[in-house]
Amino acid sequence: MAGATVDTILARHGYEEHALIAVLQEIQRERNWLPPEDLATVARMLRVPASRVYGIASFYKAFSLVPRGRHVVQVCTGTACHVRGAPQILDRLGRDLEIQPGHTTNDMRFTLEKVRCLGCCSIAPVVRVGEHIHGRLTQVRAGSMLKKYP
């Protein structure tokens, strides 16, 4: 699907330069990360320097330049979550998964990330797994939460 998908995405945005970020977002949604060969295609087709594409892909947090796990576990570390125990939740998940934030488990099941505020501060601390938001977590609940994701 490689070339074809990227091309469809580019066509949808009319090969316009300013759609660069939107194009990368769609590729990332499709593949869960940004493979370098796709980025090279984007640079070529949009006629923008590869250095700019690489710059953007490495600047914005939403993009990943390495493959990510099936489930991306995002621990919110916004202020409200911080004062209500997010650091402990993050530590706990890191211990359970045996990875540091920003890394992926060897079996490609989970990627652990910390994010800055998911906007659900009233039910802090919050973790998002894939599309699903878990609120009012404790260390114990955070640990059992992961079992739901194969």
Partner 1 sequence: MRIVDHTQLEELAREGTRSLCPDHTRITVGTASCGSATGGREALAAVREEVATAGLAVDLRETGCIGYCQVEPVLEVLRPGEPRVLFHHADAHRARLIVRALAEGRMPTELALCWIPRNGERPEWALPRYDEVPFYSKQLKIVLRNSGVIDPDSLPEYAARGGYHALWRALTEMTPEEVADEVEKAGLRGRGGAGVPTGRKWRLCRDAPGDEKFVVCNADEGDPGAYMDRAVLEGDPHSVLEGMAIGAYSMGSSQGYIYVRDEYPLAIQKLERAIADARTAGLLGRSVFGSAFSFDVHLARGGGAFVCGEETSLLQSIEGKMGEPNQRPPFPAQRGLWGKPTNVNNVETWANVPEIVSRGSAWYAGIGTPSSKGTKVFSLVGKVQNTGLVEVPMGITLREIVFDIGGGILGGKKFKAVQTGGPSGGCIPDRFLDLPVDYEELNRTGSIMGSGGMIVMDEGTCMVDVARYFLDFLREESCGKCVPCREGIERMLEILERICNGEGREEDLPLLEELATTTKDFSLCGLGGTAPNPVLTTLQYFRDEYDAHIREHRCPAAVCKALVHYSIDYALCDDCGACIKLCPSGAIVGEAKRPTEFIDEKCIKCGACLEVCKPAAIRVQ
Partner 2 sequence: MPTLSVDGKKATVPEGATVLEAARSVGQDIPTLCYHPELRPYGACRLCTVEVAQGGRVRLQASCAMPAEAGMEVSTASERVLRGRRMIVELLVARSPNAPVLHELAARLGVPEGRLKPKNELCILCGQCVAVCAEIVGVSAIGFAGRGVTRKVATPFESPSLECLACGACSFVCPTGAIDMERTTLERIKAERSPRYCRYSRLGMIPNALCPNAYECYRCDVDQRMEEVCGTHPAFVASPVRRAAPLEVRGFQLMAGRYYHPRHLWVERQSRYLRIGVDDFARRLVGRVLEVKPTREPGAQVGAGEVLMELRLPNGRTASVLAPLSGQVESINADVMVDPTLVSKAPYTRGWVCAITPSAEATELASLYFREAAIPYLRLVQSEPVTAWVEAEVEKLKHLLAGRAPDLLTERGLPRVTLPEVLSADDWQTMTRTFFGA
Q: Give contact residues for partner 1 (rule: CB under 8 A).
A: 17-22, 24-25, 52, 55-56, 59-63, 77-85, 88, 91-92, 95, 115-124, 126, 131-136, 138-140
Q: How far is the CB of 109 from partner 1 (least distance, A)?
A: 20
66: its two tokens: 């390495």
Q: Which residues pair with 74 in a beta bridge?
A: 113, 128
Binding mask 103-132 for partner 2 (x = CB under 8 A): ------------------------------
Residue whose structure tokens are 């919050």: 126
Residues 72, 73, 75, 76: is their CA dihedral positive or negative?
positive
Q: For partner 2, which residue of 2, 8, 16, 141 counts as binding (CB under 8 A)?
A: 16
Q: Which residues pair with 77 in a beta bridge?
A: none
Q: Which does 124 bind (CB under 5 to 8 A by kind): partner 1, partner 2, none?
A: partner 1
How many CB atoms within 10 Å of residue 20? 18
Contact between 10 and 47 under an 8 Å Cβ cutoff? The reply is no
Q: Which does 5 bind (CB under 5 to 8 A by kind): partner 1, partner 2, none?
A: none
